[in-house]
Chain A
């Protein structure tokens, strides 16, 4: 069906897409979202808004997406199954579409035990694959879970995530296949530092022909310091930061480490650009969104195409 998502239009035109992540504030100030949106607007095709990432209470993803939309951006609503049951999720899917949000990214979400509400009751009524399937049924069949008809289906381009670095490794591509079969149309991956492993995963993806069925955007997070690299390697679940990356960061003066982090990010994007089956890059500059324009320019991905809505 026709969905006027800028991200979809870029990807279907076979242009190497650029998306970026935008973390909403721990407060009610819309100005912070507007500011981040202004920085990212000309350098990205679409901007993801995280949904209470790491289980920390933040301004709602849907509200932030609506603010970005007002600012002329094409937001991607991240939606996790951790906090809402199927009634609330489906209601928010309809609400997002009504607000003009045209992309959704379906995730299970970081476990609440990592956040600032550790006593919360995790919902997990449905899982991420079931959420993808739910959005797809709502959009294409105009049906909610259980089969009841909607008066108007939501218009959404459906995304999901993949982590090529988690275990069990051989299952990762099966899980991607399940997400695609459930209805995912684009995939944003976990941050790539281990390019060798990512290439192995992409080989498995191509063997199964999944790169022909779904647009894959490789995740890139610029490192700010050697300490951040070590922290991500040891403390962040599902991250794979190999020793050579940590050593490379350690090998430069502390005040030069940001520069080195940017260089690694740009090199990763260049590698992704020429990798068969990779359709774009998703830059997750955690609380460092203002560096995205520089990375996009250095990677030769600026200016972004202007696609007229068809």
Chain B
């Protein structure tokens, strides 16, 4: 899933400063899963904004809404007729959600409440870790399902750097050395032959070669 964290309140307040009528829009997918932008967080943030305004003697109007998905036009449609009644939309979607809403409502002013962080997994309740950079050329099959692009601080393809000690990364002692994991998993699988192989320079053009990426599947496109 896409993970995100709420921006500091001061930054959110600064972005909303010129506006009185605020529509707070959450997203029920990834950011709800990682407890940063779902219905609950929308409620909390909206209340905090109202309380804040009250304490400072300002009058504001805050409306809450949470879409099932903020990155799919069918769901965004639910905002039709609502958005124009507000000065600003405070989106608790990921970066894709914020931009999709802006795409559908070209005349609305949208600001993000979250910092979109990474593609990751839920390690345990309240802990999420990054494990995919969406490089567009998955090599997990050679690296025992541990991504060196993401989980090695230097993104090394041909073994650990000289800083790996006691199984942890030199950059952050709370992070396991990805290459230690790769070596251990390949040993267990009896595939140490994969450690001897030379991996040539990656093709980053699949990630960032030509600006934003697009997938177009003719079999999935509607007739209209």
Contact = CB atoms under 8 A, between A and B. Distances in A.
A246 interface: no
Contact of A171 (B170, B195, B201): B195
A86 B166 CA distance: 32
B154 A177 contact: no
B156, B167, B179, B201 — most chain A CB neighbours (10 Å) = B201
Given A122-B154, A130-B157, A238-B165, A168 B180 contact: yes
B223 interface: no
Interface string A81-117: 0100010000000000000000000001111011000
Contact of B165 (A175, A177, A237): A237
A128 B171 CA distance: 18
Nearest to B204: A125
Interface stretch (A35-43, A159-167, A197-205): A159-167
Interface residues of A, number: 35
Contacts of A130: 157-158, 199-201
Contacts of B202: 126
A268 interface: no
A174 B196 contact: yes
A46 interface: no
Contacts of A86: 201
Contacts of B204: 125
A230 interface: no
A137 to B, nearest CB: 10
Contacts of A181: 198
A134 B198 CA distance: 12
Contacts of A113: 153, 171
B144 to A, nearest CB: 13
Nearest to A190: B162
A111 B163 contact: yes
A125 B177 CA distance: 19
Contacts of B157: 127, 129-130
A111 B198 contact: no
B160 interface: yes
A282 interface: no
13 contacts: A82-B154, A111-B163, A126-B202, A128-B158, A129-B158, A163-B162, A168-B164, A168-B183, A171-B159, A178-B159, A178-B196, A182-B158, A237-B162
What 5 A-B pairs are tightest by C-beta distance, nearest first?
A163-B162, A237-B170, A237-B163, A129-B158, A175-B159
